Every structure is written in structure tokens, then in C-alpha cells.
Chain A
Amino acid sequence: MSRYIARRLLIMIPLLFGITLLSFAVIHLAPGSPTDLQTDLNPKASIEAKERLRALYDLDKPFHVQYFLWLKKILVLDLGTSFSPDRRPVSGKILERLPVTISINLLSMVLIFAAAIPIGVLSAVRQNSLFDKITGVFVFIGFAMPTFWLALLLMILFGIHLGWLPISGIRSINHEYLPLVDSWIDLAKHLILPVLLSAFGGLAGLSRYMRSNMLEVIRQDYITTARAKGLSETTVICRHALRNALLPVITILGLSVPGLIGGSVIFETIFAIPGMGQLFYMSAMARDYPVIMGILLIGAVLTLLGNLLADISYALADPRIRVSR
């Protein structure tokens, strides 16, 4: 098993290398320079000043030199300094925002699994029942739903019309003066809509996937055997079928990471949540190279870790994987 994990970790190294090279190329070969934004609106900025600014950021050097300079710093875990006026280290900027994004994503992942697995199992066990048909419609709508539109609708309904939930930020202005319990309730109220929304797309996908796995499994011979020896239907479904149908779902866990992280840009912007997605959006608008690179790198690392975790748990659950690969 440890050899399997070691091999998986080794594969990650060239992948990470490719990721950094590609994102660096995409950002640096695109037309426009981060210094444009700082100098275009300033009529006093002379050509020499622009050149000095470019030299300050190493932007005057050839592409490969810039890349190796960046890579050298990454090897000692230094993501560089932000181009924005605050000149803070990129790692600090990202670290203070990472927990919010990760906790919202984790919460929504828990929600996805808690809801999608029972839905998928039930609609498979009662194939073509009313429940199956209703969830089928829900799944189709879920696939086609623009999340940001659903966000707007829910904001109108719960935030404005009913006034139950706040529609921006993760804390009320007066949260520091609230008693501890109220402060937690305040946080929870702010998180309900973002978590629900980031779970929505994944929910549709996973329940559909769970349903088709389950349908496949309950047609297997060992399920017939379990029924034939007189086990109750609940035991057959929960103990014999569910376990096997859950196996491929583990992989989905890893694969859903990039989608969740990517989605955070949208709902963090809509709900004004100070997370990584919002930071990425603002940095992209300001052409803040080091921050963009830092977040792309962290997003990719999280994705790779998600895949690794999925592979390992899959191998733990299914011995055939360990042996054959």
C-alpha cells in the first residue's frame, strides 16, 4: 500500500511542473502588462518610468528567465509579493482567505453526499416510481441551472421578500458585540445560501451517478443470492448493494474539487464573501501576476490532493486496484 501511495505521489511531481509552466505561460504570454493598469491612467508616467516599473517586477526579462526565477522561489515555498499597493506576501494574502473557501466547500461537499446518496439509492431501488421521476426532473434542471441565477432568485426570496437571511458577507456588522451563541447563529445564517448554492450542481450530478451505480449493482448475481437466502430487503440494499455502489462514488469526491473551487469565484463574488475566489477575481482584474499564479497553483495542488485521496481510499476499499496498478 505504501508503495502505491509513493508511486501516486511521484506522478504528481511532473504534473505540478506542467501546471506551473502552463499557467505561467498563459499569464505571461497574454497581451497587456500589469504595469499598464498603473501607468495608463497616469499621464505623468514617462516611458522610462514604465521601464523602471517593469524592471522592478522582472517583467523585462525573457519568459524562461522569469519562469525559473519564480520556480526557484516556489521551491522554498515563497510565492512572492503581490503587485497591489499593499505589497504583501502572496502566501499571507491567500492563507487568510483560504479557510473561508475551504470550509464552505467542505460543508457543501458534506451536504452533497448526505443528500445525494439517499436520493440516488431510493430512486434506484424504486426505479420508475413517482419519487424517481421527480428526482429525475430535479436532476435535469440541476444540470441546466446557472448557479448565479439561482443565487439571485434565492436572494430575492429569502433575503429581500421574506427577510430571513442576509445576502452579503459572512458576518453582520455588529457581530463583535453579539453573545457567542448569537454570533455563531449569525455566521450560520450568512453561510446557508452560499453552501446550498455551491452544493446544488454537485448534488444533481452525484445523485444521478449514485442512481446508475445502484441500478447496476442490484442486477448482480450476489444480490439475487442475498435475496434468495431470505435476507430482508433493507439488509440486501444497505449491506450488500450500497457498499458496492458507493465504491465508484469515492472517485467523484476527488474529481469534484476543481469544480467546487472554480464555482467559488462566482458565489463569493455574488455574496461578497472574503474568500479565495473573490481574491482571485480581484487579482485577475488588477493583473496581479504573483497572486494569480499563487492561487492557480494552490487550486491545482488541492485538485491533485483530492485525486490522490480518492485513489487511496479507492485502493483501500478495493484490493484489486492495489494489485493491478
Chain B
Amino acid sequence: MGKGTGQGLWTDFRRRFSRNRLALAGSVVVLLLFLVSFLAPVIAPHDPGAIDLGKVLSPPSGDHLLGTDQLGRDVLSRMIWGSRISLKVGFVATGIAIVIGTLLGALSGYYGGFVDGLIMRLVDVMLCFPTFFLILAVIAFLEPSIWNIMAIIGLTGWMGITRLVRADFITLREREFVQAARVIGAGDLRIILVHMLPNAMASVLVAATLGIAGAILTESALSFLGIGVQPPTPSWGNMLTAGKDNIDIAWWLSVFPGLAILVTVLGFNLLGEGIRDSLDPRLRGRD
């Protein structure tokens, strides 16, 4: 791919992306989320850990816009701080999945044969597990902490990326510019890293954006079940646990953190689909 067409691709991408209203909405949500989590200490109206036993489970009011929880802590402030957890888990877990997935996919697609067979069988085996079971089995043996959560979500989420990268590499392997690189004596590593990988990054970028959404969902489900991020650290998932415990008296504890998860995941999904459609308009509307 020459420099000229690369430029054109990028301009094309921007033009298509900026016309896609849903994708723009997704990017706004994601940007806002970054802003909120970055500015958490400034914009949170209360200390997220401040217990006020005089105001236990008070409904939304002027002072506590989204009410208080079972220890009298401000729900809005805890949600603002909780956004940091969601973003952190989403990005780190997806990062792990991308590194593993890209590496294995590249090896598999480039070398083919035995290496490919071995890696693909590993993918098959991993896909046979109900992922959530596997995560639960591991988490139960480890200290539930945010780092373990990130690691385990990443380690169980790379299979899709492996398949994507492998498929890209199989087509790329036969392309002229790769053959040309081989003819002038480039080594395997150089061909993979310099010539092929950049051309496979488009699908990885899309998978990564959608993967972040998935990781945030998984983290919230684990925290909700009590095996993810542990209180008193606020996470949207463990706030919902309190919501379930007080389901008959405090609806606001159940409604708002879940809404935050929904909007965040929706934002990343829209962004991911927007990137995909803008990279390759032929893919629009497909799954």
C-alpha cells in the first residue's frame, strides 16, 4: 500500500465517519465518559466513600441528585468514580486480548500448516467453554481484585481476534506487496510486523472497540455477583448488588448504575460499528 492511497483511505474514513450520526453519537458518549472519569475528583459532588448513617437510602433530592445507598453514600459520586473502573477494566482486558489474539492469529495465518492447526484447535477448545463459567471457575480461586478481573477477561476473550487476524493474514500472504517483500529478502518477522500487521489492524481496531464494550459488561456482571471489584471501591456492577439487596425500598440504587452501563456499552458499540462501516462501507449492516 503506497503512501498516496493510505492518505486517501484516511480522508475517506473521516468523511464517512463524520456523516454517520450513530457513530458520532457513540464517540460523544465515549469522550464524555473519558472526561467524567478523568475529572472525577473535580465534578463528583460528594466524597464517594463518605458514609452518612443519617441519610441511609434517601431518594433522589437536591443534595443527592441520584439518592444515597445503604450506607448513606452519594450514588452520583460513586457512579462518577465507578466510570474509572469500567474504563480501566475495558481497556486493559481488551489490550490483553488483542496482544494474544493478534500474535496467535498472525502466526496461524502466516505459517499455516502445523502451527495453524495447533492454534486453531486451541481456539476451538476455548470456544467450547461457556466463557462465563471459565471466568467464574478461575476467579473463585483467586483473590477477587480488579487486576485479576482484567487478566481473566482478557485471557478468555482473544479467540475472535485470532480468527479475524488469521483470516486477514491468509489473504495478505498471497498479495503482491508481501511476495515482493519476500523476494527482496525480508525476514518472516519483518514481513509480519512491517508489511502485514498494519493491513490487519483495521479489523483489530473494530474488534477492540466492541471488545471494550463486552469487557465492561462482563466486569459489571462479575462485580454484581460479588466476585469482581470489591466494595468499598465503587463499580457500577457492585452498586447494583446493593440495588438488588434493597430492591423493594430503593429503586434508584438499581436504576442509575445500570443505566450508566447500558449507555457506556451502547456508546462503544456504536463507535465500533461506525469505525467498521467507515473503514469498509461494503460491510455495512452485516454482523
Contact residues of A with B, CB < 8 Å?
Answer: 14-15, 18-19, 22-23, 26-27, 30-32, 140-141, 143-150, 152-153, 155-156, 160, 167, 205, 208-209, 212, 215, 258-259, 261-263, 265-266, 269-270, 280-281, 284-285, 287, 292, 295-296, 299-300, 303-304
Contacts and interface: CB of A to CB of B under 8 A. Distances in A.
A146 B262 contact: yes
A259 B247 contact: no
A146 B265 contact: yes
Given A265-B133, A269-B225, 10 more contacts: A14-B121, A22-B125, A23-B129, A146-B262, A149-B254, A258-B128, A280-B133, A287-B141, A300-B129, A303-B127
A149 B220 CA distance: 10
A30 B131 contact: no
B225 A281 contact: yes
Contacts of A215: 285
Contacts, number: 142
Interface in B46-102: none
B176 interface: no
Contacts of A269: 225
A213 to B, nearest CB: 10
Contacts of B121: 14-15, 18
B186 interface: no
Q: Mostly helix, strand, loop or mixed at chain B's interface?
A: helix
Contacts of B221: 146-148, 266
A140 B266 contact: yes
In the A-B complex, list the 5 residue pairs whose CB atoms are closest, starting with the nearest: A149-B258, A262-B132, A262-B130, A284-B140, A30-B141
A93 B60 CA distance: 45
B207 interface: no
B30 interface: no
B137 to A, nearest CB: 5
B144 to A, nearest CB: 11
Contacts of A304: 128
A32 B137 CA distance: 12
B139 to A, nearest CB: 8
B137 A23 contact: yes
A295 B220 contact: no
Contacts of B243: 152
Contacts of A141: 262, 266
A296 B134 contact: yes
B280 interface: no
A258 B130 contact: yes
B131 A262 contact: yes
